């Protein structure tokens, strides 16, 4: 790896005596890590080292071909770089009651799926991505994770400006110059320039201004980047303190984790660098918004919208049998939209219409079914939802080869002759639906999610759940 000269000059200045160790570590292999979905796997991983700052994070010894593991497609785990999992520690330390949480720059969804597992149960997560095709990848990962307390939007950060004091917590995992990805991604090295660092830091300030009003007084802001320079890190932390008037919120950490403290200024910052921490580059700092402003009651925002939008909810005619497709259905409200039926947690029945009217919602709650003629076809998201009622549909467990054929959307046959919608599983985990016609089955796996490679592994899967 040929590092840009301006980068080495700047970083030598910053790290001083530590620089040689840092550069040496940049030339070493990146550790591989995954984070388990506690709602889909209630165990740990056998024989693997745990990521110390994340309850469900594990290092792997090698990089398996995740694409050919059906459990990956079932949402049993997310492949995430270990340093990023520090968010788990921050959330568990500072957030103890259910919150309304915004993940502003969320695709592909690593930190969103983490928050969905780490936040107190009953929290609502709104995750947003500005780039349209990345927003769809985000929605795919949220659907696989299977937690219904989530809304996915595709908007510019300025859109959130009007939701004054709505969120209790906002994570801004901002676009940055990506120095922390140099070891994993050669493109990040090629695209780096000192002028881009300047552009990134201006954009970061603009993003922070855009969402600042949406955070309630007393609410928490988590700011993170995956870069090393201070322009996008400590200097932005100073800016949040001095220009936005926020108070830094220290995070207790274990010295054994090797987290580096701030390199300039006095705001407590948490720096992950490969010569001291086992992971890629990450910077994180946490603030509390001052309580001095009067809080705008959330109801005031909601009432303007919800009366009209909610007219059709709950009361609309949803067939009872479809309501029974999810567990604890008394905790959800049901709604239909064109030919589709979906469910959303009742305690947020006033919130969804707000987002539907102010943002571009591309996924919310649990899509249940869509009407085709007289038939209701179960949605793929229902198969992957952690609220799916497993007593409704017949199931068939697939061996590895057939599971991979199914995930490639190839045609295949089921053991059963029963004509019905079948839930297909691998090691007991739902993968999706097939409509069994007796002599053959229609593969209902989403076309755009299918595995595009014909390769089938011959070795047993290298990840062993306990």
Q: What whole-number distance in Å separates Cα of residue 200 and Cα of residue 231?
A: 9
Whichever of 271 and 298 has its CB closer to ligand SAM, that residue is 271
Q: Is 429 in the site for ligand SAM (CB under 6 A)?
A: no
Residue given tokens 């990146």 in the structure block: 30
End-to-end CA distance of the chain: 38
The SS3 call for residue 15 is: helix
Residue given tokens 């910052």 in the structure block: 269
* Catalytic-residue membership of 226: yes
Q: Is 207 in the site for ligand SAM (CB under 6 A)?
A: yes
The alpha-helical segments, DSSP class H, found in 63-102 are 70-73, 86-94
Catalytic residue among 54, 176, 226, 269: 226
Q: Is 144 in the site for ligand SAM (CB under 6 A)?
A: no
Retrieve residue 35's tokens. Answer: 């984070």
As measured in angstroms, the least distance from the Cβ of 211 to ligand SAM is: 9
As measured in angstroms, the least distance from the Cβ of 131 to ligand SAM is: 4
Q: Is 173 in the site for ligand SAM (CB under 6 A)?
A: yes
List 110, 146, 274, 353, residue binding ligand SAM (CB under 6 A): 110
Q: Which residues contact 366 (CB under 8 A, 6 or more apart)?
A: 148, 326, 332, 342, 343, 344, 379, 381, 382, 385, 387
As measured in angstroms, the least distance from the Cβ of 35 to ligand SAM is: 11
Q: Taking CB under 6 A as the criterion, which residues in 50-89 touch ligand SAM? A: 84
List 11, 41, 123, 157, residue binding ligand SAM (CB under 6 A): 157
Q: What whole-number distance in Å separates Cα of residue 73 and Cα of residue 355?
A: 28
The alpha carbon of residue 229 and the mean position of all alpha carbons in its chain are separated, in whole angstroms, by 25
Long-range contacts, stretch 212-215, CB < 8 angstroms, 24+ apart: 212/244, 212/289, 213/161, 213/163, 213/164, 213/165, 214/102, 214/160, 214/161, 214/163, 214/164, 214/165, 214/166, 214/167, 214/170, 215/165, 215/167, 215/169, 215/170, 215/289
Please tell me the count of residues contacting ligand SAM according to CB under 6 A.
Answer: 18
As measured in angstroms, the least distance from the Cβ of 245 to ligand SAM is: 22
- Asked if 115 contacts 103 with a C-beta cutoff of 8 angstroms, the reply is yes
Q: Is 124 in the site for ligand SAM (CB under 6 A)?
A: no
List 36, 76, 107, 341, residue binding ligand SAM (CB under 6 A): 107
Q: Is 165 in the site for ligand SAM (CB under 6 A)?
A: no
- Asked if 261 contacts 253 with a C-beta cutoff of 8 angstroms, the reply is no
List 108, 217, 218, 258, residue binding ligand SAM (CB under 6 A): 108
The alpha-helical segments, DSSP class H, found in 398-458 are 400-407
Q: Is 307 in the site for ligand SAM (CB under 6 A)?
A: no
156 assigned ligand-binding residue: yes
111 assigned ligand-binding residue: yes
Whichever of 108 and 265 has its CB closer to ligand SAM, that residue is 108
Whichever of 80 and 329 has its CB closer to ligand SAM, that residue is 80
Q: Binding segment for ligand SAM among 130-138, 261-269, 313-321, 379-387 (CB under 6 A)?
A: 130-138
What are the C-alpha distances in Å from 211 to residues 159, 216, 232, 355, 358?
8, 11, 17, 15, 14
Q: Binding segment for ligand SAM among 60-68, 109-117, 324-332, 453-461 (CB under 6 A)?
A: 109-117
Q: Is 437 in the site for ligand SAM (CB under 6 A)?
A: no
Whichever of 157 and 233 has its CB closer to ligand SAM, that residue is 157
Q: Is 106 in the site for ligand SAM (CB under 6 A)?
A: yes
- Asked if 33 contacts 80 with a C-beta cutoff of 8 angstroms, the reply is yes
214: buried, middle or exposed (CB in 10 Å: 19+, 13-18, 0-12)? buried
List 44, 175, 218, 457, residue binding ligand SAM (CB under 6 A): 175
CA angle 235, 239, 243 (to 5 degrees): 165
Whichever of 15 and 207 has its CB closer to ligand SAM, that residue is 207
Q: Is 184 in the site for ligand SAM (CB under 6 A)?
A: no
Backbone dihedral region for residue 460 (phi beyond 0: left; psi -120 to 50: alpha; all else: beta): beta
Whichever of 173 and 179 has its CB closer to ligand SAM, that residue is 173
Taking the CA atoms of 198, 199, 205 and 208 in sequence, report the sign of the dihedral they define: negative
As measured in angstroms, the least distance from the Cβ of 128 to ligand SAM is: 8
118 assigned ligand-binding residue: no
Residues with a known catalytic role: 226
Q: Using CB under 6 A as the criterion, which residues of the chain lie in contact with ligand SAM when the complex forms? A: 84, 105-111, 129-131, 134, 157, 173, 175, 203, 207, 226
Mark the binding-site residues, compressed into ranges: 105-111, 129, 156, 173
Mark the binding-site residues for S-adenosyl-L-methionine, compressed into ranges: 105-111, 129, 156, 173
């Amino acid at each position: 790896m040929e590092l840009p000269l301006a980068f080495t000059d700047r970083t030598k200045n910053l790290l001083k005596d530590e620089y040689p160790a840092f550069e040496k570590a940049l030339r070493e292999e990146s550790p591989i890590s995954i984070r388990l979905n506690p709602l889909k796997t209630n165990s740990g991983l056998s024989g693997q080292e745990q990521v110390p700052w994340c309850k469900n994070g594990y290092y792997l010894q090698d990089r398996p071909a995740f694409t050919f593991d059906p459990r990956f497609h079932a949402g049993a785990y997310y492949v995430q770089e270990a340093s990023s999992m520090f968010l788990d520690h921050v959330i568990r330390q500072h957030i103890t009651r259910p919150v309304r949480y915004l993940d502003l720059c969320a695709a592909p969804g690593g930190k969103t799926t983490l928050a969905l597992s780490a936040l107190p149960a009953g929290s609502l997560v709104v995750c947003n991505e500005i780039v349209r095709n990345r927003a769809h990848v985000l929605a795919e990962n949220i659907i696989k994770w299977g937690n219904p307390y989530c809304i996915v939007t595709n908007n510019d950060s300025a859109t959130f400006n009007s939701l004054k004091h709505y969120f209790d917590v906002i994570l801004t995992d901002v676009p940055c110059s990506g120095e922390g990805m140099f070891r994993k991604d050669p493109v990040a090295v090629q695209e780096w320039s000192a002028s881009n660092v300047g552009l990134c830091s201006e954009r970061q300030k603009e993003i922070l201004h855009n969402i600042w009003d949406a955070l309630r007084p007393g609410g928490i802001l988590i700011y993170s980047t995956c870069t090393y320079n201070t322009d996008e890190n400590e200097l932005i932390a100073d800016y949040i303190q001095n220009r936005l008037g926020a108070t830094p919120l220290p995070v207790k950490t274990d010295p054994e984790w090797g987290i580096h403290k701030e390199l300039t200024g006095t705001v407590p910052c948490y720096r992950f660098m490969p010569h001291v921490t086992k992971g890629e580059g990450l910077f994180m700092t946490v603030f509390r918004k001052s309580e001095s402003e009067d809080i705008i009651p959330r109801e005031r925002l909601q009432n303007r919208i919800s009366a009209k939008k909610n007219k059709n909810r709950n009361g609309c005619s949803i067939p009872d049998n479809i309501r029974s497709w999810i567990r604890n259905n008394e905790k959800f409200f049901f709604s239909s939209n064109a030919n589709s039926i979906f469910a959303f947690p009742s305690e947020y029945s006033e919130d969804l219409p707000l987002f539907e009217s102010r943002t571009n919602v591309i996924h919310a709650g649990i899509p249940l079914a869509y009407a085709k003629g007289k038939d209701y076809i179960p949605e793929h998201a229902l198969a992957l939802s952690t609220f799916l009622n497993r007593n409704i549909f017949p199931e068939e467990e697939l061996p590895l080869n057939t599971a991979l054929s199914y995930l490639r959307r190839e045609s295949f046959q089921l053991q059963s002759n029963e004509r019905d919608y079948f839930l297909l599983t691998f090691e007991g985990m739902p993968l999706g639906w097939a409509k069994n016609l007796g002599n053959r089955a229609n593969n209902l796996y989403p076309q755009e999610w299918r595995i595009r490679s014909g390769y089938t592994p011959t070795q047993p899967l290298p990840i062993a759940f306990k």
